[in-house]
């Protein structure tokens, strides 16, 4: 069982490391969008798309960068007590708290799936059956949700990206759970 955990940890950490390293440069994309926004508002007609595109870029940046941040241990912790604990005690505490995080991410993932189904024109209460129906041809995409701004982009791409990010975060949390289990058992990771 330990070998399977280590294999899972290695594969998920590798995927999230690569994605995190790529997404890390999204801050420069965001800066470019905001720079163009400032230039166009100062010298030309203001661009309609810049503010919302900057928001979408920021969402992609932190949603896809979250698993990388968790993997690197750069998430926020209360070090008042935690910093003085032994590695085994930290692992026990992390084991407990990551279970709460997994539950929370499961709820968020379900909400993101429901919201994405809504943005694709599904008005029912069973988003999983809607996506299964899309794959089999039993369902059709309805009237797609658009933003209420002047630019009016479709909302499903950013919502689908949120599903991917939350799923990757859930996989990384399972990796952290397995790491904590191995630390509690005293095994090498």
0.85 cut: is pTM over it?
Answer: yes
Terminal alpha carbon distance of the chain: 13
- Encode pLDDT of 64-73 as tens digits: 999 999 999 8
Q: pLDDT band at 162, cuts 50/70/90? A: very high
> Which range (35-39, 138-142, 155-159) has the least confidence?
138-142
What are the tens digits of pLDDT across the range 107-127? 999 999 999 999 999 988 899
Q: Are 40 and 50 in contact (CB under 8 A)?
A: yes
CA torsion angle 158 68 112 140 (round to 10):
60
100 within 8 A of 189, measured Cβ to Cβ: no
Shortest CA distance to 19 belongs to which of 133, 135, 167, 174? Answer: 167
Please answer whether residues 94 and 176 qualify as being in contact, where contact means their C-beta atoms are separated by less than 8 angstroms: yes
pLDDT at residue 111, as a whole number: 96
Distance CA 43, CA 179 (A): 54
- Residues 8, 175: Cα–Cα separation, whole Å: 7
Measure the CA–CA gap between 20 and 71, rounded to whole angstroms: 10
pLDDT of residue 15: 98
Record the tokens describing residue 156, joined without a space. Answer: 């499903």
Report the Cα 60 to chain-centroid distance in Å: 8
Strand-pairing partners, residue 154, are 146
71-116 confidence digits (pLDDT tens):
998 877 777 888 888 889 989 999 999 999 999 999 999 999 999 9
Contact yes or no for 189/183 (Cβ under 8 A): yes
**Mean pLDDT value across the chain:** 93
Q: Which of 155, 94, 157, 95 is nearest to 119 (CA)?
A: 155
Predicted local distance difference test score (pLDDT) of residue 102: 97
């Amino acid at each position: 069982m330990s070998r399977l955990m280590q294999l899972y940890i290695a594969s998920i950490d590798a995927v999230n490391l690569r994605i995190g390293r790529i997404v890390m440069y999204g801050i420069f994309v965001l800066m470019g969008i905001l720079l163009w926004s400032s230039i166009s508002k100062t010298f030309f007609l203001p661009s309609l798309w810049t503010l919302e595109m900057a928001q979408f870029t920021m969402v992609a940046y932190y949603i896809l960068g979250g698993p990388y941040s968790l993997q690197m241990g750069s998430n926020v912790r209360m070090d008042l007590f935690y910093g003085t604990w032994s590695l085994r005690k930290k692992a026990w505490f992390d084991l407990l708290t990551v279970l709460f995080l997994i539950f929370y991410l499961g709820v968020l993932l379900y909400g993101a799936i429901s919201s994405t189904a809504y943005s694709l024109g599904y008005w029912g209460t069973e988003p999983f059956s809607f996506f299964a129906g899309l794959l089999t041809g039993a369902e059709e995409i309805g009237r797609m949700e658009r933003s209420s701004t002047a630019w009016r982009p479709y909302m499903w791409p950013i919502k689908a990206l949120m599903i991917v990010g939350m799923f990757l975060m859930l996989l990384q949390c399972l990796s952290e759970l397995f790491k904590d289990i191995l630390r509690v058992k005293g095994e090498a990771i």
